[in-house]
Amino acid sequence: MTEFWCISAPGEKTCQQTWDKMNMATSQTNLSTNHKFNIPELKVGTLDVLVGLSDELAKLDSFVESVVRKVAQYMADVLEDSRDKVQENLLANGVDLVTYVTRFQWDMAKYPIKQSLKNISEIMSKQVSQIDNDLKARASAYNSLKGNLQSLERKNIGSLLTRSLADIVKKNDFVLDSEYLTTLLVVVPKTSYPDWQKTYETLSEMVVPRSTKLLFEDQDSGLFSVTLFRKAGDDFKHKARENKFMVRDFQYNEEEMKADKEEMTRLSTDKKKQFGPLVRWLKVNFSEAFIAWIHIKALRVFTESVLRYGLPVNFQAMLLQPNKKNVKKLREVLQDLYKHLDSNATVIDASMDIPGLNLSQQEYYPYVYYKIDCNLLDFK
């Protein structure tokens, strides 16, 4: 499982004892794989500040998690053809997420512990808000480019009734620069080829005999050219439609066709140029956001532990990776281990709806508990 439970319990005689007790109870029966979660000695401040900070950190936690998920999902969108490569680009500090979380060390340079808890949380909040804003701007520019390119590409595929004909027809398929004659392009269903050959010369007056040519075929139809006098054009189109032959509205214009091709080449080149730097930016900023998120979890464990277990600061933070088959059993073992910490805390699960208790966001246990889910992608 890529899900972790970050919990804390008060130090017994020593914090090591708290760790040993939990570890014995859970890992020997293969309920979970456990790691110490190292939180440095942070500045406690006043109780009032801690209570306020506890609420703010909850909001910050879900905001930062949403940004982490957005960056990861956008990385998957950008690496459209190689989604299996996404996971190897989603790293934190150059290592995979599970390794980063299980070996977590506080980054003193980024988040100096001499600062107050409030200041540290503000540094994180500013940093991740900046990533969120940058992501919106970069994604918008790249998506617009990608969208324009896709709509041009779509014009070159699909049915002969709708697709662009620019890459199908050539200059010598047309009578150009004639005052009296014009060439029309007609889409004829394959089943109607014999009818077309029999009738096209008589659909209207002034059709040039034996002037039709098959220029292109797809699965269902063929594109034929036919030459006739300009003034018979409208009548021919009308009669053709009655016979289920569709005349395409197409003027041969080399300048326009060249401009379309150049636009497509330009967009394609721009997309390739932006792709590399964008993926690099996503890698770097995914790492930054994820690191900030795990530090916020550490701040929450610290704040909540001090509020629950009191001063002086004396608790052991622990990271449990539950064995998928034993999640329920693990909860029961932890409940037995820590129920003495809060006699009122019969386990309240978020899925239970109890009037007057706003627990929609989180389960409540006698020990401090936060979940870290490293599975960040929803592949459709």
* Angle, in degrees to the nearest 10, between helices 254-309 and 117-155: 160
Let me know whether 211 and 290 are in one domain. Answer: no
Q: How many residues does this entry show for the chain?
A: 380
Determine the pLDDT at residue 47.
87
Q: How confident is the model at residue 256 (pLDDT cuts 50, 70, 90)?
A: confident
120 contacts: CB under 8 Å, gap ≥ 6? 42, 111, 112, 113, 295, 299
Is residue 96 in some structural domain? yes
Is residue 53 in some structural domain? yes
Domain end (from 224, 251, 278): 251
Q: How confident is the model at residue 335 (pLDDT cuts 50, 70, 90)?
A: very high
- Integer CA distances (angstroms), 141 to 128, 134, 148, 216, 288, in order: 20, 11, 11, 37, 22
Let me know whether 16 and 145 are in one domain. Answer: yes
Instruction: State the pTM of this model.
Output: 0.81
Q: How confident is the model at residue 166 (pLDDT cuts 50, 70, 90)?
A: confident
Is residue 163 in some structural domain? no
- Strand, coil or helix: 7: strand
Let me know whether 29 and 71 are in one domain. Answer: yes
Let me know whether 233 and 177 are in one domain. Answer: yes
Number of domains observed in the structure of the chain: 2
d(CA 139, CA 128): 16
Determine the pLDDT at residue 158.
83
pLDDT at 101 over 60: yes
d(CA 377, CA 374): 9
Whichever domain contains 212, its CATH number is: 3.30.70.100
Helix H, strand E, coil C: the string for 74-114 is HHHHHCCCCHHHHHHHCCECCECHHHHHHCCCCCCCCCCCC
pLDDT at 84 over 80: no
Let me know whether 145 and 20 are in one domain. Answer: yes
In the chain, beta strands by DSSP E? 3-10, 32-36, 181-189, 213-217, 221-229, 246-248, 315-322, 368-373
Determine the pLDDT at residue 23.
95
d(CA 306, CA 57): 14
Q: Which residue is listed with tokens 């002037």?
A: 211
Let me know whether 102 and 209 are in one domain. Answer: no
Is residue 34 in some structural domain? yes
d(CA 290, CA 377): 14
Is residue 261 in some structural domain? no
Using the 8-state DSSP alphabet, how is residue 203 labeled? S
Q: For residues 290 and 95, is the Cβ–Cβ distance under 8 A?
A: no
Determine the pLDDT at residue 216.
96
Residue 242 belongs to what domain range?
171-251
pLDDT at 368 over 90: yes
- DSSP letters for 243-272: TT-EEE-----HHHHHHHHHHHHHHHHHHH
Is residue 260 in some structural domain? no
Let me know whether 300 and 367 are in one domain. Answer: yes
Let me know whether 294 and 369 are in one domain. Answer: yes
Give me the mean pLDDT over the 101-109 stretch. 97
More confident residue, 143 or 349: 143
pLDDT at 202 over 50: yes
Residue 280: its H or E element = helix 254-309
Whichever domain contains 61, its CATH number is: 1.20.1460.10
295 is written with which tokens?
Answer: 């530090």
> Which pLDDT tens digit goes with each residue over 64-81?
999 999 999 999 999 986
Q: What is the rounded average pLDDT for all residues in the chain?
A: 91
pLDDT at 358 over 80: no
pLDDT at 361 over 70: no
Is residue 166 in some structural domain? no
pLDDT at 353 over 60: no
11-15, 121-125, 282-286 — which is least confidently predicted? 11-15
d(CA 26, CA 337): 10
Q: What angle do CA 243, 244, 247 make, to 5 degrees?
A: 100
Q: For residues 318 and 56, is the Cβ–Cβ distance under 8 A?
A: no
pLDDT at 354 over 50: no
Let me know whether 23 and 135 are in one domain. Answer: yes
Determine the pLDDT at residue 1.
62
Let me know whether 81 and 14 are in one domain. Answer: yes
User: CB count, 10 Å around CB of 81?
Assistant: 6
> Which pLDDT tens digit goes with each residue over 115-146?
999 999 999 999 999 999 999 999 999 999 99
Let me know whether 27 and 98 are in one domain. Answer: yes
308 is written with which tokens?
Answer: 């629950």
More confident residue, 346 or 371: 371
Determine the pLDDT at residue 83.
65
Give me the percent of the chain exceeding a pLDDT of 70. Answer: 93
> Which pLDDT tens digit goes with each residue over 20-50?
999 999 987 899 999 999 999 999 988 899 9
| Pairing between β-strand 315-322 and β-strand 3-10 as defined by DSSP bridges | antiparallel
More confident residue, 1 or 201: 201
Sign of the Cα pseudo-torsion (267, 268, 269, 273, in order): positive
Let me know whether 273 and 245 are in one domain. Answer: no
d(CA 173, CA 28): 81
198 contacts: CB under 8 Å, gap ≥ 6? none
Is residue 54 in some structural domain? yes
